[in-house]
Amino acid sequence: MSQPPRRIVTGHDETGVSVFLSDGPPPVIRTAPDGAAFYEMWNTDSVPASIAADEPEPTERDLTVPPAPGGTKIRVNEFPPGCVSPTHRTQTVDYGIVLDGEVVLVLDDSERVLRAGDVAIQRGTDHRWENRTDTVARMAFILVDGVFSEPLLKVLGTEVLGSLLGSPLATDQ
């Protein structure tokens, strides 16, 4: 695992003045069985997101890939050399931004190589991430809760809802 990303959180004091609430590594860092690191940066439970002067740390809960229903999530992932995520699907729209290194996004029909600066917009498709290089790859993921449209759900079949990825730390998914 490399140096954790720096997380700066702003808020308000009791008089409404803008202040820095925290500045440092994220308080929640987890490692999956495949060696991938998950830096939990922030999440919200709804959109629009409630904004309070100060609030409890939202990342100190069970690690799940998707955000809460109606919510959002941002995390930074590190994929060590040779790392291959499980093939998975979530009912979300995900913005995956490659910060460092190179990853391969593998779909059912083909794959694409992404390098630093590239952005993948992942829209509920079955996929996996692979690091085929000898260096760590780092990505930022912004996940937005979503729902499959009725026409898409008819094509995928309703059983797809029972196979969505929950926790990347589980070894049985």
Distances (CA, A) of 41 to 8, 72, 86, 158: 9, 11, 22, 32
Per-residue pLDDT of 21-51, as tens digits, reads: 999 999 999 998 889 999 999 999 998 888 8
Q: 73 near 173, Cβ under 8 Å? A: no
Which segments within the chain are labelled E, that is strand? 7-12, 18-24, 28-31, 37-44, 72-79, 92-100, 102-106, 111-115, 119-123, 128-130, 137-145
- Comparing CA positions, the residue from 100, 106, 107 lying closest to residue 79 is 100
Distances (CA, A) of 95 to 14, 73, 76, 122, 134: 35, 10, 11, 6, 25
What is the model's pLDDT at position 172? 46
Enter the pTM of the model: 0.89
d(CA 165, CA 45): 18
Which of 73-82, 117-126, 151-160 has the weakest average pLDDT?
Answer: 151-160
d(CA 20, CA 115): 32
Per-residue pLDDT of 67-112, as tens digits, reads: 888 999 999 999 999 999 999 999 999 999 999 999 999 999 999 9
User: Nearest 5°: phi and psi at 6?
Assistant: -85, 135
Per-residue pLDDT of 3-22, as tens digits, reads: 999 999 999 999 999 999 99
Per-residue pLDDT of 125-151, as tens digits, reads: 999 999 999 999 999 999 999 999 999
What is the average pLDDT across 117-128? 96
User: Nearest 5°: phi and psi at 152?
Assistant: -65, -40
What is the model's pLDDT at position 169? 53
What is the average pLDDT across 62-71? 82
What is the model's pLDDT at position 166? 67
What is the average pLDDT across 63-68? 79
**Which pLDDT band holds residue 54 (cuts at 50, 70, 90)?**
confident
